[in-house]
Amino acid sequence: MKLLACVKQILDFEAAVPRDTRAHAITPGGTTPTKVNPFDLFAVEECLRLKDTIPATTVDVVSVGPNRAADALRKALGMGADRGIHISTTGEAEPSPFTVACRIASYARKASYDLIVTGMMTEDGMHAQVGPIIAEMLSRPCAIAAVVLDPSIEKKRVYVEKEVEGGMRIEAELELPAVVAVQIGVGKPRYPSLSNILRAKNQELEIVDAGSFEQPAPRDVVLRLHPPRKSRSGTILQGTGEQKAVELLNFLRGKALL
């Protein structure tokens, strides 16, 4: 069984992230901290779990992005994936989910994967579009927000359970080949072993120039990038405990709360 997991190295928004207000874009520098998109680690784990249980299964990992995408690939290789593919966008602006999906679909079309697994969304954009668009481009069935994933080689189907509103779950079977976007919590990502970490550090990645694919026309335009509007303010009490108590009492009385 041939599996493909999709990963992305995203900016760590716990740190200050610079932005270009004229270009309406995030402008990360060389020191801006990054991390693997947490949703994607669950996608990798599901592929590795299937590799552990289904004989003759291989796991490839693909990432579309600039040089930092290699970090996400090596993390997945350290977890146990077999091969990393970097679709390099170095020198380009941040690609849209549509562009990312088109490039992954173009690569996957030639490789004939039985199952493509993505995270449900990325923490940076939160679009939740890449998996469904890949499925549409390849004319494959798709399930999103999956929390159970169980393929059957004999039936050529994959059984999924997906979360919906109200805590309910939908059970479905998809014909293989298929695309599944998994939810956080589907299976705890494993820690990379030392031997795999050393292997991943030196393993050669397949580098594919994003320009080698047909460039899709933009489907959306970013109009503005800005922090959330301030909806409330906070007050920090200063001084000793007694002074803070008096200040709090005066504040509550001023708001007619006492």
How far is residue 52's CA from residue 44's CA, in Å, rounded to a whole number? 12
Residue 184 lies in a domain: yes
Would you state the pLDDT for residue 47?
A: 98
- Burial string for 69-83 (b: 16+ CB within 10 Å, else e) reads bbbbbbbbbbbbbbb
Strands lying side by side in the sheet with 169-175? 169-175, 157-163, 142-152, 178-182, 115-119, 2-6, 58-65, 83-88, 206-209
Q: Nearest CA to 114 among 187, 171, 173, 179?
A: 179
Would you state the pLDDT for residue 68?
A: 93
**Checking DSSP bridges between strand 206-209 and strand 83-88, what pairing results, if any?**
parallel
Residue 5: C-alpha distances to residues 44, 60, 64, 126, 203 (Å): 6, 6, 12, 18, 17
Query: What's 151's domain CATH number?
Result: 3.40.50.620
The pTM (predicted TM-score) of the whole model is 0.86
> What averages of pLDDT result for each successive group of 10 residues across the chain (258 residues)?
97 74 68 91 97 96 96 97 96 89 96 96 94 97 96 94 90 97 91 92 96 84 80 85 92 86
Residue 178 lies in a domain: yes
Would you state the pLDDT for residue 24?
A: 66
For 84, the token pair is 């990393």
Residue 43 lies in a domain: yes
Residue 113 lies in a domain: yes
For 119, the token pair is 């995270």
Q: What are phi and psi of 36, to 5 degrees?
A: -75, 135
Q: Nearest CA to 100 among 126, 130, 122, 72?
A: 130
Neighbours of 256 (CB within 10 A): 6
Residue 224 lies in a domain: no
Domain of residue 161: give its range: 2-212
Residue 45 lies in a domain: yes
Residue 238 lies in a domain: no
Would you state the pLDDT for residue 12?
A: 86
